[in-house]
Structure 1
Amino acid sequence: MASTYPTNGANTQKNGVPPGKPMSLGTQMLDKGAQMLQSLKPIKQMSQHVCTFAIYAQDMSRQIETHHFVTRINQDFLQCAVYDSDDSSGRLIGVEYIVSDRIFNTLPSHEQKLWHSHAYEIQSGLLVQPRVPEAVAKPELENLANTYGKFWCTWQTDRGDKLPIGAPSLMMSPQEDLRCMVKPELVKKRDDKYNISTAAIKGSRSDIMGPGKLNEMADYWRGHNKCLAVEVERTEMKKLTVFP
């Protein structure tokens, strides 16, 4: 079980903002100048925005809308900065790595347990690329349906944390399983925001196929009724070797 951290008025507030003073004029000018002078190359490689839902591995009643800003490293590997919204005030809540089924099947079994499949997310219409027509998104969606992801949430803003508190939490993807279905009110809120219909999108994706057979080590909870979570423990430090 993951370590728990106290949440109180000092560090949490529903929909609160991180504690700190407002940005000064000098800081704003520094940021503007840096934007003009620095390349920010890694950020500029983010080429896609994906909106979907994620579920805490240790508490399936906690479900969140997530916004993944995707950088493609190559055809088999993507990396995502995950935010809790796509507004300018969106908070960076974690990171997801995505690999093709070809790469996933080469990973050792103890590593595969940390990953989830994407096929159902896409086939069900839960994963969308906001404001991108389905016809345009379809080829990429077909690719993503054959991938697996590992998503660590580092800032649990859904419980009101003003700061990233505690250990990272492993997240799961929605699946066609009553224990792991996304709450209808979350889907409706997302659909209303983007003026889309998840049900209609699902109907248009009936021809999208995932892997011929999902690797049974992914979505580990389904076959084992157990979650995987990070626990913070005190441990001995490795000493620095000092040479004479």
Structure 2
Amino acid sequence: MMASSDKRPAPGGVAPTSEQPPGQAMSMSQHVIDKGGQMLQSLKPIKQMQQHVCTFALYSHDMSRQIETHNYVTRINQDFLQCAVYDSDGPNAHLIGVEYILSDRIFEDLPVDEQKLWHSHAYEIKAGLWVNPGVPEMVQKTELNNLTRTYGKFWCTWQTDRGDPLPLGAPALMVSPQGVNLGMVKPDLVKKRDDKYGIDSGRLKVSRMEIPEPEWINPRADYWKQTGKGFAIDIEPTTMKRMAPFP
């Protein structure tokens, strides 16, 4: 099953929607269980999310499809971040994927074929596309200096931009804007985001000119820039490996 840019009909012939997935409203007992969980459980992994980043991503197999993304970031250490990615910052946002972010130090040690799946972040930061909503620019500067030398791998598991009411099909590999050929973000998409947060990406770009460019961006990242090719995932039946019988 190869990823497609076409909208798929929802199950049961219902028109595609990106609002809410099909299903009945929550019952009172479910509300009680959820509130009890909030009160009694630690939810430690979620509480480690300390940053909200808003930026843009493009589908590796179809760069005409571009989305605004909201990354909720957990810092594991100086060289590794993990992000839960949503399609908005609202209370009913859809969890659409996961992104991992590595420093250049770790990236350089990855196998060559693995490096092809990652994208660099320098352009989207320098271009003012990557923002931490509500955080003053001066507060972000130190972090942005570090992030220009990082690489990300983003798998989208729920293509709400094409109207999928549920996570359907194979995951899609996403790439970062790079500002060349099809790697530009559509101006109306950027304007909509900027208007929502009261920011000006153009001014951010000017103010970020002082952020130093990385001395080296590995050319095996941003694979599409070098080859004009993206990645699409097929789902194929395969022979199952069975467990050996227990003694």
Give 1:94 shift.
Answer: 0.1
Name the CA distance, whole Å, in 2 between partners of 1:190 and 1:124: 14
CA 1:78–1:28 in 2, change beyond 3 Å: closer, same or farther? same
- Residues 204-219 of structure 1 aligned to structure 2 (within 5 Å): 204-219=207-222
2:225: which partner in 1?
A: 222
Q: Which moved more, 1:176-185 or 1:38-47?
A: 176-185
The one of 174, 179, 186 aligned to 2:177: 174
Q: Which moved more, 1:37-46 or 1:203-212?
A: 203-212
- Aligned residue-pair number: 244
Deviation sequence 1:179-204 (CA, Å, 0-9, x none): 11000000000000001000001110
Find out whether 1:2 has 2:2 as its counterpart.
yes
Name the CA distance, whole Å, in 1 between partners of 2:186 and 2:75: 30
Q: Report SS of the residue matched to 2:38.
A: helix
Alpha carbons 2:82, 2:98 under 8 Å: kept: yes
Alpha carbons 1:68, 1:80 under 8 Å: kept: yes
Alpha carbons 2:155, 2:174 under 8 Å: kept: yes
Q: Report SS of the residue matched to 2:129.
A: coil
The one of 148, 152, 162 aligned to 1:145: 148
Deviation sequence 1:128-155 (CA, Å, 0-9, x none): 0001000001101111111000000000
Give 1:9 shift.
Answer: 4.2
Name the CA distance, whole Å, in 2 between partners of 1:144 and 1:6: 34
Alpha carbons 2:7, 2:162 under 8 Å: kept: no
Q: Percent identity?
A: 62
Deviation sequence 1:62-97 (CA, Å, 0-9, x none): 000000000000000000000000000111000000
Residue type of the alignment partner of 1:85: S
The one of 89, 111, 124 aligned to 2:92: 89
Find out whether 1:162 has 2:148 as its counterpart.
no
Name the CA distance, whole Å, in 2 between partners of 1:156 and 1:185: 20
* Structure 2 gap segments, 5+ residues each: none
2:29: which partner in 1?
A: 26
Name the CA distance, whole Å, in 2 between partners of 1:223 and 1:142: 25
2:73: which partner in 1?
A: 70
Name the CA distance, whole Å, in 2 between partners of 1:125 and 1:47: 21
Give 1:13 shift.
Answer: 2.1
List 4+ stretches of structure 1 deviating above 4 A.
3-6
Name the CA distance, whole Å, in 1 between partners of 2:39 and 2:8: 40
Residue type of the alignment partner of 1:223: Q
Give 1:229 shift.
Answer: 2.0
Normalising by structure 1, report the TM-score.
0.96
Alpha carbons 1:80, 1:96 under 8 Å: kept: yes
Alpha carbons 2:10, 2:164 under 8 Å: kept: no
Give 1:167 shift.
Answer: 0.3
Residue type of the alignment partner of 1:93: I
Find out whether 1:233 has 2:214 as its counterpart.
no
* Structure 1 gap segments, 5+ residues each: none
Name the CA distance, whole Å, in 1 between partners of 2:214 and 2:237: 41
* Pairwise CA RMSD: 1.5
Name the CA distance, whole Å, in 2 between partners of 1:231 and 1:225: 19
Name the CA distance, whole Å, in 2 between partners of 1:122 and 1:9: 36
The one of 136, 148, 153 aligned to 1:133: 136
Name the CA distance, whole Å, in 2 between partners of 1:70 and 1:226: 29
Q: Which moved more, 1:178-187 or 1:24-33?
A: 24-33
Alpha carbons 1:57, 1:229 under 8 Å: kept: yes
The one of 24, 46, 53 aligned to 1:43: 46
